[in-house]
Structure 1
Amino acid sequence: MKKVINTPYIKRVKKPWGYEIHFTQDDLPYMGKILHINAGKRVSLQIHDKKMESWYKLSGKVIMILGDKEGNLFEQEMEEGVGYTTTINQKHRLKALEDSDILEVSTPEIGTTFRLEDDYA
């Protein structure tokens, strides 16, 4: 029988747009975090060459900016009770219209993140 990992773990990471709460340990084969994005702020427009992310809005009002297969950007508001997944090399960005919390699960922090636009660089 496999042992359950039950070591309490939490890490808060300050970001210029708010903060992240990591609730999974770094050595696991996946990452779990809560993104808190302050009203009027947005994360970088980015792509990942090896990482996929899935999001679920916990609170607030959030706009996703996503790239289609041709790389054109479109906006879509996150709905209540719906999950969203970005694919490898898909452009993506989150923008909060009010203080917002998003649950994010993903592959581990692997590969390279390319920041195409960053409001805080």
Structure 2
Amino acid sequence: MATREVVEKFFGLLAAGDPDAVAEVFGEDIDWYVPGSPSLPWTGRRSKSSEVPGYLRTLVDNIVPEKNVDRVEALVVDGDHAVMLGRFTRVAKSTGRTYEMPIAMHFQVAGDKIVKFYLYEDTLKVSQAYAV
């Protein structure tokens, strides 16, 4: 399976909302990084695909999912790497604050599995949305 197909499958599964199915597109050992802070429990590093469902469930527990707006503006593929450029709009469940920002995701694919996933977002804006 080509890199683009694997990444597009990831986005399709993510949109379907099944965390366990999303985890299946990842290799067993992964390099996952979502920058943030200890006050944002979904941020940080993950190293196993078995951690992906927990990440997604924790994220959903902290946002208002029905108010999400995700826009993919570009998907650039070079060999086994892909970069998605887009925008996120989220509502922090604990404060009701809306935050919107440009984002980038860096993927690396081996065979038909994602082995690297880095999310680049405005971590200050996210932290401020959740600050009480």
Does TM-score exceed 0.5, indicating one fold? no
Q: Which has more strand, going by share of residues?
A: 1
Name the TM-score, length of structure 1 as normaliser.
0.29
Q: Which has more helix, going by share of residues?
A: 2
